Amino acid sequence: MKHIRALAIAAAALLAAHLPASAADQEITIARSVSTTAMDPGFLREAATIVDNIFDTLVMRDSKMQLVPGLATSWTAIDDTTWEFKLRTGVTFHDGESFDAEAVKFTIDRIIDPQANSPTLSYIRTVASVEVVDRETVRIKTNGPDPLLPTRMSRYPAYIVPPNYVEKVGNDVFASKPIGTGPYKLVDFVPDQHVILEANAGYWRGKPAIDKVTFRAIPDGTARMTALLTGEADLVENVPVDLVPLVSQSPDADLVQVKNGGLTVYLGLVMSQKPLGELKVRQALDAAIDRKGIVDNILGGMASVKGTQVGPADFGYLDVPPTAYDPERAKELLKEAGYPDGFSIKMQSTRRYMKDSEVAQAIAQQFGDVGVKIDQEVLDWAVYTKDVPRKGPIFMLGWGSTQTLDADAAIYAIMRSGEPYSTASVPELDTLLDESRKIVDPEARKKVLEEIQTVAQKQVPLLTLYQEDALYGKAKNVTFEGRPDARIPVFDIKLEAAQ
């Protein structure tokens, strides 16, 4: 009898192994290089990778990056400063609370509230107020013409949150126990370790194919790749440059490379601190960096040297040539600025980007070669994100325009003085940046965006370095191609049946 039972169990196991992937619960583990500390989409200080799967926005982007209906079924410009959104009916939050116009108003009001100090306010600063017309209609008023308003409603901080739940538990609890209308519901969250989500069976777009997703924090690149190659992870972010061959040549994994799909890494300059307020000093630092050498020799060509923070896929992109590496010119500029012997200054970096420690060391050496002595400080990402804006006075940060695929997202938040992430102060840029947000005509607006990039090259409010390629590793049975907007929508990922 025992022998028969053993055969039956073996047969069942064999049958299960050959069942279609959809016949059994599907699970996926995604390994990330950074840990998650909080998941309130209105107050994010990190990438929206996880909250993107818990919440929905009024407007979405399809695989071709076109705006399509989300929680809003349509949107119309009523006048130059008013957009009306018609809302989807029958949608509920994960706890059963109804989604309606009041939820939209609550979501946006809590971000634009001056007392809230939201670090993501820059993205929707043009919003002046939200008016509830009826349960299924909301009007968003802007403080001037804003052609990007629908686009602003497609990413954080515009993920819609449940008013009753947020008011009941408060912002701190909500950040660790979020509830949205999205395809996945939170099951477990252990800060700095993992986030576990399960499929929302009642999701308005239909139940997701993958039943459970675990986001694991594995900061060490080698450990992350080991998890992929041993089957502990099905998809990994940020494949280390020196491990690309290991993944691309593996019989068990594939490399997914999205050219210019990553962040644009730059050195922020706190212009209020001496001597960074002096143009010639900023120009000298700019000329002291060998960007091409860094990309070729440290990053293995997995990035593109940039002369602008704006990405090639963004509206308003101008192909600004990167500043030439010229240490002798840098020394001359420092001499003209009154620093013939250079000066000493602190530079902060973190462990978040491609080989960032090596890049920071190389730049510190290059600064040293022209007389600028660097006091280097490396901070963990969890610590780094808590200080907004960074105190620097020089600091490394990555920024992207995946928010809107528009130049505005790439430059406004980090170049407009007074914005949470900006340490720049260039009046000419402030004027142009504000003007760009009030122009409706696309061609006229494009010219202003291009002028901003030209002025930025001359005034050097920050030091643009390069734009990373997005590098993912995936198991053979995972269908995932990467997206220009850097999202990982688990709803769209499929698992093939095991062979």
Environment class of residue 115 by beta-carbon count within 10 Å: exposed (0-12), middle (13-18) or buried (19+)?
A: exposed
Q: Strands of 303-305's sheet, edge to edge? A: 303-305, 462-468, 264-269, 394-399, 343-350, 372-379
For residue 267, which amino acid is it? Answer: L
Residues in contact with 27: Cβ distance below 8 Å, sequence separation at least 6, in sequence order: 210, 211, 212, 213, 214
- pLDDT single digits (tens) 269-319: 999 999 999 999 999 999 999 999 999 999 999 999 999 999 988 899 999
* pLDDT at 45 (0 to 100): 79
Most confident of 150-159, 389-398, 456-465, 475-484: 456-465
Residues in contact with 15: Cβ distance below 8 Å, sequence separation at least 6, in sequence order: none
Q: Is the pLDDT of residue 122 over 90?
A: no
Buried b (16+ CB within 10 A) or exposed e, 463-474: bbbbbbbbbbbb
Evaluated on CA atoms 114, 117, 118, 119, the torsion sign reads positive
Phi (first) and psi of residue 402, to 5 degrees:
-60, -20
Crossing angle of helices 407-415/442-459, nearest 10°?
40
- pLDDT single digits (tens) 397-453: 999 876 678 899 899 999 999 998 999 999 999 999 999 988 888 899 999 999 999
Q: In whole angstroms, what is the distance from residue 204 CA to residue 197 CA?
A: 17
Query: Which of 496, 494, 487 minimizes the C-alpha distance to 53?
Result: 487
Query: Could you tell me the pLDDT band of residue 498, with boundaries at 50, 70 and 90?
Result: low
Tokens (6 digits) for 240:
């280390």
Tokens (6 digits) for 253:
């994994």
Which ranges of 70-206 would DSSP assign to H, the alpha helix? 101-112, 149-152, 163-176
DSSP codes joined into one string, 14-44: HHHHTS-GGGS--EEEEEESS------GGG-
Q: Is the pLDDT of residue 19 over 70?
A: no
For residue 368, which amino acid is it? Answer: G
* pLDDT at 24 (0 to 100): 56
- pLDDT single digits (tens) 44-101: 877 788 999 999 999 999 888 889 999 999 999 999 899 999 999 999 999 999 999 9
Domains of the chain in start order, with CATH, are 27-39+182-259+470-495 (3.40.190.10), 56-164 (3.90.76.10), 264-468 (3.10.105.10)
Q: In whole angstroms, what is the distance from residue 497 CA to residue 477 CA?
A: 7
Environment class of residue 35 by beta-carbon count within 10 Å: exposed (0-12), middle (13-18) or buried (19+)?
A: buried
Buried b (16+ CB within 10 A) or exposed e, 448-462: bbbbbbebbbebbbb
Q: Is the pLDDT of residue 471 over 50?
A: yes
Environment class of residue 291 by beta-carbon count within 10 Å: exposed (0-12), middle (13-18) or buried (19+)?
A: buried
